[in-house]
């Protein structure tokens, strides 16, 4: 099995090739070849197979080396981005909080004022990942719960 095969392979009988090799040595004035020609061919095949194996191992190692940074990339394997607040604003008498993801439990999203009163979110816009609360008059703790159960705790202080 060779990786680099020529399209035109010429074939010759081993005995005829051995005879030609002996004639070349005789014409050059050298000692005749004592290694049988079939062993020379066998050695060439072994060298070719070793070369092919080395090439394949090198290709695999190169591919592994190039793919290794993917394994250690910080975002590799994470399905969801970090759950965080993108921005917030006041719109009329509502406080709008835009989130990085939309997998929240609206029934578990509320804010707690200084007296311990809970006020639940008005609605959640799943298209823009925006949750709406009534605009608080005082400092409140906002709790937004993901579907996985993790909670995002925010402290909101009005500018009045």
- Tens digit of pLDDT for each residue in 36-72? 777 777 777 777 777 888 899 999 999 988 887 776 6
Q: How many CA atoms are closer than 13 Å to the CA of 51, on its beta-carbon side?
A: 11
> 85-156: which CATH topology?
Immunoglobulin-like (2.60.40)
- Model pLDDT, residue 35: 77
Q: Take residue 57 and report the two structure tokens written for it.
A: 């191992």
Per residue in 20-32, pLDDT (tens digit) is 878 888 888 888 7
Threshold 0.85, pTM exceeds: no
The pLDDT of residue 76 is 56
52 or 10, higher pLDDT: 52
DSSP 77-100: T-SS----EEEEEEETTEEEEEES
Helix (H) or strand (E) holding 114: none
Question: Which two three-digit tokens encode residue 80?
Answer: 């969801």
Confidence of residue 77 (pLDDT cuts 50, 70, 90): low
Residue 75 pLDDT greater than 60, yes or no: no
Domain spans of the chain, in order of start: 14-72, 85-156
């Amino acid at each position: 099995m060779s990786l680099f095969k020529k399209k035109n392979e010429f074939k010759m009988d081993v005995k005829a090739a051995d005879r030609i090799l002996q004639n070349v040595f005789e014409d050059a004035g050298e000692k005749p070849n004592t290694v049988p020609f079939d062993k020379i061919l066998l050695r060439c095949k072994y060298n070719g197979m070793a070369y092919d194996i080395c090439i394949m191992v090198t290709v695999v190692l190169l591919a592994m080396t190039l793919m290794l940074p993917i394994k250690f990339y910080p975002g590799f394997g994470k399905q969801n981005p970090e759950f965080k607040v993108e921005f917030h604003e006041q719109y009329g008498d509502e406080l709008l909080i835009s989130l990085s993801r939309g997998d929240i439990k609206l029934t578990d999203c509320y804010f707690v004022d200084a007296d311990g009163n809970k006020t639940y979110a008005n609605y959640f816009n799943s298209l823009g990942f925006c949750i709406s609360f009534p605009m608080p008059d005082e400092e409140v703790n906002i709790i937004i719960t993901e579907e996985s159960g993790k909670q995002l705790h925010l402290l909101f202080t009005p500018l009045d």
